[in-house]
Structure 1
Amino acid sequence: MKRPESYSLWRWFCLRIFSLAIGSIVLIALCMWLRYVFLNWWVLKQMPLVTRQEFLYLREHPNVNAGRFNQLVDIWYGQSYSDPSITSTDLGLLGILVIVVTPMMVTLGLRAARPLSKQFSHLAKAAKAVTDGHFDVSATQEKQAPQELLELTHDFNAMTRQLARYDKELRTSHVALAHELRSPLTAAMGRLQGMLDGVFPSDPKQLTMVMNQLQHLNRLVEDLHFLSLVDANQLLLHQENVALYALLQEKILWLQPQFDQLQFHVENHVPPSLTLHVDALRLGQLFTILLENALRYAADGKKITVDAIETSQNWQLSFRDYGQGVSDAFLPQIFQKFTRADDSRARHSGGSGLGLSIAKAIAEAHGGSLTAENHPQGGLQLLLLLPK
């Protein structure tokens, strides 16, 4: 549907003011002209035929007999017709027209400005609702409002949608965060209380179990701190030329004991010569997250392959596992904080639901992107796009 034409605020005002000014002048001039036309028609109709012929001739040739012409004017039009004083009929009519036309033009002007007033009212009402905490409101757009005001309303509505989304995510995150923090903390406190009460012996095994919970809690806090830096646009990257094959191979070797334990195989097809200007620490963190994600949730597939494809402006790295994948309904939510699919992202697997959120943030900090899709032949495929 074609959007109706709208004008800039300056042009909007100029068109209406100019139209009202010209309209007032034209209306007054028309009324004066009609008054003359009607009076002239009426007088000529009342004149005898001979007198009318004489008058029309003298009006065309007043120098023939100016006295007789003025006499006929005074007789049939009245002496006030040619009265030059300020109280003449023409000036009086002009004053009456000004008095009548001015309120009419003011009324039309107010009516013309109504779209502007209504649009501001819609914005004020919506802004008041947002102030009261109702972020899901939107301001109605008046079709005849100026272009700047329509764009302002459009941006305002986009802002409220963003605020509503952030508010929903914040509320969800608070609930999930409370649960994630409570679980390891409760486990550690319960184990320590058991040792204090003599239920559990105070030996290295019990202390190791407590330490594991505290380490899990510490990692969760570090992940949250990382995401807070991203949200505040305070994440600093130390970029340098890095060989991606060697960086990925390093992370594979670091996780090799876990791969061997589950008989999980990783195929690194990244070209050894591929070098990009990236932050090695952060990109290595991203690689680790994607590898651990496959190890944790797709271990039944026994394999993950990493391929690299060059495009005109980017390199695309594909991390494909051969597990059960995720439902299509879950794909749009896969990068949200504390989100897990019911069938594969279970809390007992050890994940906090922040890993993929962190990986996506790292990719975007490098000017790239991270997306997910179910591979046509099965399994989940994560596509990392990095600029050259």
Structure 2
Amino acid sequence: MKLPVGLGRQILLAMSAITVVAGLIVFFGTYLAYTVMIAFYPRLESDDGGLTLTDLAILGAAILVTLPIAVFVALRLARRILEPLETLALSARRIADGDLSARAEPGDRSLGETAELVDDFNTMAQRLQDMAADMALWNATIAHELRTPLTILKGRLQGMIDGVFEPDERSLRGLVLQVDSLARLVEDLRTVTLADSGHLDLHREDVNLAVVVAELAEFAGPDLAAAGFPVRLDLHDVIVRVDATRIRQALLALVTNARRHGAGGAITISLGVSERTVLLGVADHGPGLTPELAARVFDPFVRGDLERSREVGGNGLGLSVVRAIVEAHGGTLRYRPAPGGGALFEIALTTSGPPDRVARRDAASPVRTV
């Protein structure tokens, strides 16, 4: 029989030593007890007061019998402990070599801690594999998104060099639009990546969100109204500690999304407070989302109406950017059908401030259209 190495040999030697020591303790303990009994009851003493060959033979036989049993038990225990650990080490080496599909076998689950260790390792390996798959998908998707504007830029510039296109103001403006598209894509990717890694910088200050919303509506309202999307405001004064620039960016992305996928009609922006939660919503009169799309609408590069997105311009990152900004503030972004039909995207920001400092509701504030 080949002796195990490492931990298995240590277990075997330890069990053997325990067996020998236990046998000696039992034998000499019995001998000591017998000596004490003779001191009180002299008549129990035999003619031979020392250890006999028979006693030594009994001791040796006991050790010879118990030692193989200890070796057998030690080998079984070592095998039960080492099998999952060996598969764990082998899987770790395979993962280190680039095989992220490697998994360890828990073996005998009666060893609870060992089985939990293997399960935790397999969970970690699965997450690594999922992250690698997500990264590969991201790289492929980003490459796809960059290909179109870069191809247009290269083709137009090459055409100007070859004299096919005249470098007039209209052509140059078209090139600038493609550059803007690339810049927007890069900035959106940067925002989502920083937020996912917990490194999105926020410059928080106490701001009145109603003022922020009103300013954005005044800026974007005329263009939206000209496109058939007048902006309706239902605002109450809400003071909360946020990064006003980032919240404005998220709100503009939601309004742009409503314009891109809406079917026309007013875009309603509402702001209020419910049980220490600030609610900022953007609702449209579009067709809304299907249940399948609603379940993954906040994932990167997910688009609803592809043709509409290409027509108006979109890279499928708008709602992902909004979610990243909201979660960086400790809030949540959720979707539900709008009461009058269409889609309602609602930003919920939890605040711990006192109610009289968090919100000042002006009951006379009317719903108005910009």
Per the TM superposition, whether the score is higher than 0.5 is yes
**Aligned partner of 2:233: which letter?**
N
Conservation of the 8 A alpha-carbon contact between 1:245 and 1:268: no
Equivalent residues in 2 for 1:101-116, closer than 5 Å: 101-116=66-81
**Aligned partner of 1:292: which letter?**
T
Bigger relative contact order, structure 1 or 2, given CA contacts below 8 A and separation 6+? 2
Equivalent residues in 2 for 1:12-161, closer than 5 Å: 83-141=48-106, 142-147=108-113, 149-161=114-126
**Aligned partner of 1:357: which letter?**
S
Specify which of 229, 235, 238 is matched with residue 264 of structure 1.
229
Cα RMSD (Å)? 3.4
Q: Which runs of 5+ in 2 are unaligned?
A: 1-13, 31-40, 352-370
The structure with more radius of gyration: 1
**Aligned partner of 2:326: which letter?**
A
Q: 1:160 to 1:374 in 2, by over 3 A?
A: farther
State the Cα deviation string for residues 21-44 of structure 1 (Å, max 9, x = none).
Answer: 699959x969x99xxxxxxxxxxx
Identity within the alignment, %: 34
Structure 2 CA distance for aligned equivalents of residues 318 and 171 of structure 1: 34
For the residue of structure 2 that corresponds to 1:319, the secondary structure is strand
**Aligned partner of 1:348: which letter?**
E
Structure 2 CA distance for aligned equivalents of residues 216 and 174 of structure 1: 18
Q: Which runs of 5+ in 1 are unaligned?
A: 1-16, 34-61, 74-81
Structure 2 CA distance for aligned equivalents of residues 259 and 209 of structure 1: 22
Q: Are 1:181 and 2:142 matched, yes or no?
A: no
State the Cα deviation string for residues 148-176 of structure 1 (Å, max 9, x = none).
Answer: x4443343233223222222221111111
Structure 2 CA distance for aligned equivalents of residues 355 and 262 of structure 1: 20
Q: Are 1:201 and 2:172 matched, yes or no?
A: no
**Aligned partner of 2:242: which letter?**
V
276-285 vs 334-343, which moves further: 334-343
State the shift of 1:146 in Å. 3.8
For the residue of structure 2 that corresponds to 1:305, the secondary structure is strand
Structure 1 CA distance for aligned equivalents of residues 151 and 204 of structure 2: 40
State the shift of 1:216 in Å. 1.1
Conservation of the 8 A alpha-carbon contact between 2:91 and 2:104: yes
Conservation of the 8 A alpha-carbon contact between 2:145 and 2:315: yes
State the Cα deviation string for residues 127-149 of structure 1 (Å, max 9, x = none).
Answer: 234224343454343422243x4
Q: 1:197 to 1:344 in 2, by over 3 A?
A: closer
Structure 2 CA distance for aligned equivalents of residues 202 and 329 of structure 1: 46
Q: Are 1:289 and 2:262 matched, yes or no?
A: no
**Aligned partner of 2:143: which letter?**
A
**Aligned partner of 1:204: which letter?**
E
Conservation of the 8 A alpha-carbon contact between 2:221 and 2:230: no
State the shift of 1:214 in Å. 1.2
Structure 2 CA distance for aligned equivalents of residues 152 and 312 of structure 1: 43
Q: 1:146 to 1:249 in 2, by over 3 A?
A: same
Q: 1:164 to 1:288 in 2, by over 3 A?
A: same
- Normalised by the size of structure 1, how large is the TM-score? 0.73
Give the corresponding residue for 1:356: 319
- Normalised by the size of structure 2, how large is the TM-score? 0.76
